[in-house]
A and B are shown apart, each in its own frame.
Chain A
């Protein structure tokens, strides 16, 4: 029989004590095994043998337990995933703490690298299995029930999905795209969650601005308290603080870009919060200041200075690429795909976006360098010149004037 684990589906199991058969729901806590998954801890930053050994032992337990989990039959796997809190905590700890490739480099022993690679594969496979409601023709969960299960049991949430993108997106992009698309498709509440998360991401930008003694006035119209006015600019910051800010910026930009790269259809949700404009003004405020601080800073360690510069350049690129994905998804693609009758709002959106972005002169210059704006404008003209040639020419003239100001 097909195993559609609807709420009513019952299985027969032998009672351990009495040996009698009894019925219980296929997804029931009593069918979960006691496994006690341990929390993941990242590799030690120093190669002290005792610490390396401790890491290896812990990681070995996790690898063994995940192997076991992956060999479980479909219904038992889902019982474990839903009811075993230790498993969820273990997976959470891995995705949030596993080293990213762009983290600070330490000379890691081969045994640790191999163990880390072994965990990386297993964790991915567990998430892959969790993202699939139809494992085979015989083993599946109906899409609606699947959507309820993953959402109501917090198997996925937005921060976790962001982490999955940055950890696995580079090498497994097409599979990961399918996984995330499926999760959002089966449970549209994730779009609402994402919408609620966007302000938090914007708040991260504000926090960085705050750390740098810069403030985007458009972001917080409230008057500042007197004490808050004494701020340290990046150039005056202690080196450690500057380093922390650059690392934080690098992590934030890469993670966000990885998510949008893997799941570009989330762009509309970001734009509901005028994300592009906020990103550009953040870029404008923070990039020049941080670049100047890194360039002029008194670094005893030259390699640290080079590293911070590299991270800053990387973050810049990622912010511009994020902007390009958003513009592409919310305007350019719809313009290309729209009919003559429906193209108008997207052209308007495009023009509005660029009118706003032009105020951020450094940003628009860097954007143009990576993604020449004239190519987009040429596309726009082809798509809509017959519709309203005068408006476009007028707006573009404005663009041109603004650049010359």
Chain B
């Protein structure tokens, strides 16, 4: 198993499952918006399928959809950073699928109030909060490193050494 696969497995093992997310979003919106919402959720899942592939089953696709939602929930287009994050997680992917995922996420977040979105964001941050604080967060760390010290100029004319004299008259 290579590092990329292991990393993907770890990151996608989120406390926020696709089902929980769908449940939250569905509950937050009016009934009349349900159909459009269902279509959008389907589009997000489909985009995830295109990006994740079908080798790892439905669960991996759903985790991928949650991952894409996390990436795009505060973005309105697919930027360099997002492209890099998706590529790192899943390897090469069709850019149209990323655009579709971004569009679907934007639609969902636009239908939520600020408070609702905040609660949703908190749900996928819960996993990190479950950990105790990181060791050393209060440690003052300096990036300074030993460097070459300033030195005498390179003597190009004559031997400066011969002219130096040291006294040991104590």
Kindly provide the distance from the CB of A161 to the nearest chain B CB, expressed in whole angstroms: 15
| Given A71-B132, A125-B135, A306-B154, A102 contacting B147 (CB threshold 8 A) | yes
Docked pose: A364 CA to B164 CA in angstroms: 13
Contact A317 B149 (CB under 8 A): yes
Residues on the A chain within 8 Å of B134, using CB: 67, 70-71
A331 contacts partner chain B, Cβ-Cβ < 8 Å: no
Kindly provide the distance from the CB of A30 to the nearest chain B CB, expressed in whole angstroms: 19
B7, B133, B145, B155: the one within 8 Å of A170 (CB): B145
Kindly provide the distance from the CB of B81 to the nearest chain A CB, expressed in whole angstroms: 11
Contact B135 A171 (CB under 8 A): no
Docked pose: A305 CA to B154 CA in angstroms: 9
Docked pose: A250 CA to B139 CA in angstroms: 31
Q: Which of A34, A100, A313 is the most central at the interface, judged by chain B CB atoms within 10 Å of its CB?
A: A313
Contact B151 A314 (CB under 8 A): yes
Contact A403 B166 (CB under 8 A): yes
A101 contacts partner chain B, Cβ-Cβ < 8 Å: yes
What 1/0 flags go to B1-14 for Cβ under 8 Å of A?
A: 10100110000000
Contact B152 A403 (CB under 8 A): no
Contact A368 B168 (CB under 8 A): yes
What 1/0 flags go to A314-345 for Cβ under 8 Å of B?
A: 10010000000000000000000000000000
| Given A70-B135, A102-B146, A310-B151, A36 contacting B168 (CB threshold 8 A) | no
Contact B170 A377 (CB under 8 A): yes
B79 contacts partner chain A, Cβ-Cβ < 8 Å: no
Interface residues in B155-170 by Cβ distance below 8 A to A read 155-156, 161, 164, 166, 168-170
Contact A57 B88 (CB under 8 A): yes
Residues on the A chain within 8 Å of B6, using CB: 34-36
What 1/0 flags go to A254-285 for Cβ under 8 Å of B?
A: 10001000000000000000000000000000
Docked pose: A178 CA to B1 CA in angstroms: 40
Interface residues in A281-320 by Cβ distance below 8 A to B read 288, 291, 294-295, 305-306, 309-311, 313-314, 317
What 1/0 flags go to A135-149 for Cβ under 8 Å of B?
A: 100000000000000
What 1/0 flags go to A86-103 for Cβ under 8 Å of B?
A: 000000000000001110
Minimum CB distance partner of A377 in chain B: B170
Contact B151 A100 (CB under 8 A): no
Kindly provide the distance from the CB of B27 to the nearest chain A CB, expressed in whole angstroms: 32
Tell me the count of chain A residues lying within 8 A, CB to CB, of chain B: 60
B136 contacts partner chain A, Cβ-Cβ < 8 Å: yes
A38, A100, A124, A400: the one within 8 Å of B168 (CB): A400
Docked pose: A346 CA to B144 CA in angstroms: 37
Docked pose: A314 CA to B152 CA in angstroms: 10
A208 contacts partner chain B, Cβ-Cβ < 8 Å: no
Contact A175 B147 (CB under 8 A): no
Residues on the B chain within 8 Å of A43, using CB: none
A219 contacts partner chain B, Cβ-Cβ < 8 Å: no
Contact A374 B145 (CB under 8 A): no
Docked pose: A288 CA to B142 CA in angstroms: 37
A to B CB contacts below 8 Å, 28 in the list? A36-B6, A57-B88, A60-B88, A61-B3, A64-B7, A67-B134, A70-B135, A71-B134, A102-B148, A117-B143, A120-B143, A121-B141, A125-B141, A171-B145, A172-B141, A175-B139, A258-B146, A288-B161, A294-B154, A295-B154, A295-B156, A306-B154, A311-B148, A317-B149, A317-B151, A368-B166, A396-B170, A400-B170
Chain A residues near B (Cβ < 8 Å):
34-36, 38, 57, 60-61, 64, 67, 70-71, 73, 77, 100-102, 117, 120-121, 124-125, 128-129, 135, 166-172, 175, 250, 254, 258, 288, 291, 294-295, 305-306, 309-311, 313-314, 317, 362, 364-365, 368-369, 373-374, 377-378, 396, 399-400, 403
A-B contacts besides A36-B1, A129-B135, A317-B151, 10 pairs, CB < 8 Å: A38-B3, A61-B7, A71-B131, A71-B134, A102-B148, A171-B143, A172-B142, A250-B148, A295-B155, A399-B168
